[in-house]
């Protein structure tokens, strides 16, 4: 088989066979197909698309490109969650302990942040000593003992996606539904959970800028998950502004702890109750959504969800005291309030640009090798639809130096669109695909 023939076939809008897809994935993973040919094929897929069968074949070939996790030694139902990527998205830090406290095992592989989006693994490393590189044996024994483990993806898991994603990132081929579906689902299927819940972001801070596109992505993700024999649900949620108030690793951990303590309500809690009730009902732990929500809320009210977070941290060599005393988390030396130049109502906060402010402060990765500063970031005091007065604080910058803080303050102001007339907030949970 020749790679050139496969490229030409897709360029001309024809359907690739299972053998052709397997040939491409295996050849590229082994280094037998060069980047320039793979780039051409990825662009042809982006422009010409793939049908459902091709997307499933691509997912399966990528899943089998490396090791797959065998979770059969874990008793009970195992669940995993994935977000298509956002700014201020600390959902996993709240949702996973809540679900584990309700009795579903969380065996989760997570990624690091790249560019303006954050990653759960980086956030967890804000706990002093936390080890995201635990062995497979420890991962499995922690899930059995504590009901929860969250580890970084190993190099052997889905190597095809690692290479393909890195190439897509630099060839303008990320926003393609078949490529996103195969990338996400191949990793989730290789990680072995029984229930998969997908938080599909929609809006200016996400890959899918329109709700229709996000729904299309969610539908395709769920379809592939089900065809692969997994209970899969997609929840479409708003990412037109950052999620919650904190952006930056340790700051987000602190906000997650506030939610787990029951001190903070709002969209973040609502999202975790929605995703969590999908997991509990799919896992058969709860019969109805209402019953699931009651169970999840109970974990917050009686402190068992927060205790689960402490067990997760301790089980992976971190300091669980930081869960109860967030003063032990990394803290930036400079805090600068950002005051509004204008009175009015917040119409929009560009999630992507707020992510870039955090990156400017050193909180995000420019390249995969970047070392990030866990302490820096932004707290947004004003969110969409809020009234703001002249000189009132829009937010607070957490920085290493006053100079950096001042630069970031200007950038943060530019993220806000403030208008004279009241603004209606759009729906946060836009739909559920089962
Ligand atoms: N997240 C992934 O893991 N892969 C994509 O292609 C997009 C988002």
> pLDDT by residue (tens digit) across 386-404?
999 999 999 999 999 999 9
pLDDT tens profile 284-324 = 999 999 999 999 999 999 999 999 999 999 999 999 999 99
Would you say 171 and 198 are in contact if contact means Cβ atoms under 8 Å apart? Answer: no
Across the range 100-105, mean pLDDT stands at: 97
Reference 242, options 356, 336, 344; nearest CA is 356
Q: Is 321 a catalytic residue?
A: no
Please give the distance of CA 132 from its chain centroid, rounded to a whole number: 16
Which of 43-47, 108-112, 353-357 comes out lowest in average pLDDT? 108-112
pTM for the whole structure: 0.93
Work out whether strand 344-349 and strand 416-419 pair parallel, antiparallel, or are unpaired.
antiparallel
What pLDDT is stored for residue 111 in this prediction?
78
8-state DSSP, 17:
P
Residue whose CA is at the smallest distance from ligand 1 atom 3: 184
Whose alpha carbon is nearest atom 1 of ligand 1? 84
- Please, are residues 340 and 391 in contact by the beta-carbon 8 Å criterion? yes
Tokens 């990320």 locate to 174
pLDDT for 80: 95
**Is residue 35 flagged as an active site residue?**
no
| Residue 354, pLDDT above cutoff 80 | yes
Whole-number Å distance, alpha carbon 158 to ligand 1 midpoint, is: 13
3-state class (DSSP) for residue 417: strand
| CA-based R_g, the chain, Å | 21
What is the whole-number distance in angstroms between the Cα of residue 207 and the centre of ligand 1? 9
Give the nearest ligand 1 atom to 184 CA. Answer: 3
Q: Is 168 annotated as catalytic?
A: yes
Cα 16 to Cα 22: distance, rounded to the nearest angstrom: 10
Token pair recorded at residue 126: 């804000």
Residue nearest to atom 7 of ligand 1 (CA): 180
Residue-wise pLDDT tens digits, 163-221: 999 899 889 998 899 999 999 999 999 998 999 999 999 987 787 888 999 999 999 99
Would residue 183 show up in a list of annotated catalytic residues for this protein? yes
């Amino acid at each position: 088989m020749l790679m050139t023939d496969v490229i030409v076939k897709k360029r001309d809008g024809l359907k690739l066979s299972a053998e052709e897809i397997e040939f491409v994935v295996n050849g590229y993973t082994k280094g037998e197909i060069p980047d320039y040919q793979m780039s051409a094929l990825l662009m042809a897929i982006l422009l010409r698309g793939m049908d459902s069968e091709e997307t499933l074949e691509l997912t399966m070939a990528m899943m089998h490109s490396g090791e797959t996790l065998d979770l059969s030694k874990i008793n009970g139902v195992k669940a995993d969650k994935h977000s298509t990527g956002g700014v201020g998205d600390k959902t996993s830090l709240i949702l996973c302990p809540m679900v584990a406290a309700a009795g579903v095992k969380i065996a989760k592989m997570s990624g690091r942040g790249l560019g303006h989006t954050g990653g759960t693994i980086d956030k967890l490393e804000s706990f002093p000593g936390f080890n995201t590189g635990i062995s497979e044996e420890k991962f499995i024994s922690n899930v059995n003992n504590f009901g929860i483990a969250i580890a970084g993806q190993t190099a052997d898991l889905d190597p095809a996606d690692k290479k393909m994603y890195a190439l897509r990132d630099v060839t303008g081929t990320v926003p393609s539904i078949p490529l996103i579906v195969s990338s996400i689902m191949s990793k989730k299927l290789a990680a072995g959970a029984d229930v998969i819940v997908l938080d599909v972001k929609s809006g200016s801070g996400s890959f899918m800028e329109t709700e229709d596109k996000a729904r299309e992505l969610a539908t395709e993700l769920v379809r592939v998950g089900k065809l692969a024999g997994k209970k899969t649900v997609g929840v479409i949620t708003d990412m037109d502004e950052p999620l919650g108030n904190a952006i930056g690793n340790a700051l987000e951990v602190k906000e997650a702890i506030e939610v787990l303590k029951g001190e903070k309500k709002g969209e973040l809690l609502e999202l975790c109750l929605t995703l969590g009730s999908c997991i509990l009902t799919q896992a058969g732990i709860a019969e109805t959504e209402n019953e699931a929500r009651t169970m999840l809320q109970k974990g917050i009210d009686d402190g068992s969800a927060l205790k689960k977070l402490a067990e997760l941290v301790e089980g992976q060599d971190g300091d669980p005291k930081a869960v109860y005393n967030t003063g032990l988390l990394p803290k930036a030396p400079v805090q600068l309030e950002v005051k509004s130049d204008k009175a009015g109502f917040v119409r929009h906060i560009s999630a992507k640009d707020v992510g870039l402010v955090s990156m400017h402060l050193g909180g995000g990765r420019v390249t995969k090798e970047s070392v990030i500063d866990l302490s820096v970031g932004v707290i947004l005091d004003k969110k969409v639809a809020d009234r703001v007065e002249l000189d009132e604080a829009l937010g607070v910058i957490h920085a290493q130096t006053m100079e950096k803080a001042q630069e970031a303050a200007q950038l943060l102001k530019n993220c806000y669109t403030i208008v004279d007339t009241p603004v209606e907030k759009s729906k946060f949970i836009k739909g559920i695909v089962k």
